[in-house]
């Protein structure tokens, strides 16, 4: 048999030209040298391909290898990647992902705005913050300096570093005095007396057992003038306002001596609701009740009362909602109560019972509150504990457990006038 020329050649799968040598392409076709010459070579399969795309980790790849390896294009360019959204080049140019410290949302593709306390904010939340002109960080707190030639607004930390502090009436920053130029002559501020102010007492109700209340109140920024006006207007001649170092912004509401019954019936209790509605609180400060020394029959009565309070420290603190070094229950003081009652020693004033005042004994244990029921319960406990311990005998104490808190609470149940205290004890029991 004779072999002709047609039997020794094949046709190119691309141009169909007859050739004697063909090369396999990445697409599975056999192509002649002329068609293969302009093609790229896939860096993975090493076969010529009509179309190749760059890949982050593999060089230039044909479509078949791209699909086999499960690659896909970068969001920003044709480069093939196997994970994430962007290739190596665009990942380096793109801002790193972060979680906004305000809305707690994970953010990608945007630059975080830096805030105080090493926080990061997204574009949607940054509008709720202000830029401090000193540290250039965003902060919730930002207020202007009280100076016509200075437009600066500081964050809290920078204001403190520059020895600025807020006007007692508004958020404007000052570096001397108590008020900015807009409020320095405000008549309302004359109503806050200094810490040592002590007018002649005006007695209300029937004695001799009188209670004087010192209620410390926190006032929010920008509300002080209005709250002062509310308090002085409601109190009238019943009380006055004082400064106290334990209150960062606010005042101490002090009443003249009141009998317990008069206080329940005539104190302007709506004032507490009004102040609370304006954002005032009693957080982290105290409520003190002064009890007239004339309310005690003799020094033995004082002894029984102090001993009762100290012996029931845990229950008293539960009722008071407070454990504080400013109202300490000291074991040594409990042991030395007799000597204190005899006047042989003068303990420090920051104990649960301050015996330093000449005309009163100060019960310092209570947490401040604007809850009417809690404040009334504090007054009720002061009055009831004095009444309860007045006639206790040695037999009551030794044989009938009169020192015990349970004996006191049973005694309360037969005295309806102390219902604010009974209700508060019931609320605390339910909370437990």
Structure token pair of residue 247 = 């209150």
81 sits in which H/E element: strand 80-81
Sign for the pseudo-dihedral over CA of 369, 371, 376, 378? negative
Distance CA(128)–CA(1), nearest Å, equals 94
**188 within 8 A of 225, measured Cβ to Cβ:** yes
**174 within 8 A of 166, measured Cβ to Cβ:** yes
**149 within 8 A of 191, measured Cβ to Cβ:** no
Distance CA(359)–CA(211), nearest Å, equals 11
The model's pLDDT over 168-186, given as tens digits with 9 standing for 90+, comes to 777 778 877 777 766 664 5
Q: Which residues pair with 10 in a beta bridge?
A: 19
The model's pLDDT over 232-277, given as tens digits with 9 standing for 90+, comes to 999 999 999 998 888 888 899 999 999 999 999 999 999 999 999 9
Distance CA(152)–CA(148), nearest Å, equals 10
Please indicate whether residue 187 or residue 240 has the higher confidence score (pLDDT).
240
The model's pLDDT over 325-341, given as tens digits with 9 standing for 90+, comes to 999 998 888 888 888 88
Backbone angles phi, psi at 429, to 5 degrees: -65, -40
β-bridge pairing 239-242 and 192-193: parallel
Cis check: omega of the bond before 208, within 30 degrees of 0: yes
pLDDT given for residue 166 in this prediction: 80
Q: How confident is residue 8, by pLDDT bands cut at 50, 70 and 90?
A: low
Q: Which residues pair with 407 in a beta bridge?
A: none
**302 within 8 A of 237, measured Cβ to Cβ:** no
Q: pTM surpassing 0.85?
A: no
Sign for the pseudo-dihedral over CA of 235, 241, 247, 248? positive
Q: Which residues contact 341 (CB under 8 A, 6 or more apart)?
A: 299, 300, 302, 303, 306
pLDDT given for residue 93 in this prediction: 67
Distance CA(377)–CA(373), nearest Å, equals 6
Residue 37: name the closest of 56, 53, 58, 19 by CA. Answer: 19
Distance CA(30)–CA(425), nearest Å, equals 95
Answer left, alpha or beta for residue 321, where phi above 0 means left and psi between -120 and 50 means alpha. Answer: left
Sign for the pseudo-dihedral over CA of 103, 107, 110, 114? positive
């Amino acid at each position: 048999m004779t072999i002709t020329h047609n039997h020794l050649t094949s046709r190119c799968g691309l141009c169909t030209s007859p050739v004697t040598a063909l090369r396999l392409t990445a697409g599975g076709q056999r192509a002649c040298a002329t068609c293969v010459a302009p093609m790229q070579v896939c860096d993975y399969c090493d076969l010529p391909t009509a179309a190749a795309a760059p890949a982050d980790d593999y060089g230039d790849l044909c479509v078949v290898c791209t699909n086999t390896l499960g690659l896909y294009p970068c969001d920003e360019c044709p480069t093939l990647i196997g994970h994430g959204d962007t290739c190596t080049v665009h990942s380096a140019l793109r801002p790193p992902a972060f979680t906004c410290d305000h809305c707690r949302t994970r953010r990608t593709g945007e630059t975080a705005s830096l805030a105080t306390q090493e926080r990061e904010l997204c574009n949607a939340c940054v509008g709720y913050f202000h830029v401090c002109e000193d540290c250039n960080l965003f902060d919730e707190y930002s207020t202007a300096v009280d100076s016509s030639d200075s437009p600066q607004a500081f964050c809290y930390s920078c204001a403190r570093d520059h020895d600025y502090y807020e006007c007692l009436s508004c958020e404007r920053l000052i570096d001397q005095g108590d008020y900015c130029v807009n409020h320095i002559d405000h008549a309302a501020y004359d109503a806050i007396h200094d810490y040592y102010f002590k007018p002649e007492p005006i007695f209300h109700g029937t004695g001799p057992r009188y209670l004087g209340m010192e209620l410390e109140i926190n006032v929010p920024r920008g509300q002080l003038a209005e709250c002062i006006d509310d308090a002085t207007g409601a109190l009238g001649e019943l009380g006055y306002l004082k400064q106290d170092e334990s209150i960062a912004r606010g005042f101490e509401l002090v009443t003249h001596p009141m009998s317990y019954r008069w206080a329940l019936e005539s104190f302007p209790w709506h004032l507490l609701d009004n102040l609370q509605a304006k954002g005032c609180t009693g957080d982290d400060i105290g409520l003190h009740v002064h009890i007239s020394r004339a309310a005690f029959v003799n020094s033995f009565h004082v002894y029984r009362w102090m001993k009762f309070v100290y012996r029931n420290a845990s229950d008293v603190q539960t009722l008071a909602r407070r454990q504080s070094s400013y109202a300490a229950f000291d074991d040594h003081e409990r042991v030395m109560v007799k000597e204190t009652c005899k006047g042989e020693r003068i303990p420090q004033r920051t104990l649960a019972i301050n015996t330093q005042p000449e005309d009163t004994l100060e019960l310092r244990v209570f947490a401040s509150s604007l809850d009417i029921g809690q404040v009334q319960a504090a007054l009720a406990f002061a009055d009831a504990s004095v009444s309860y311990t007045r006639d206790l005998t040695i037999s009551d104490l030794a044989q009938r457990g009169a020192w015990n808190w349970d004996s006191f609470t049973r005694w309360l149940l037969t005295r309806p006038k102390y219902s604010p205290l009974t209700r508060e004890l019931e609320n605390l029991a339910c909370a437990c």
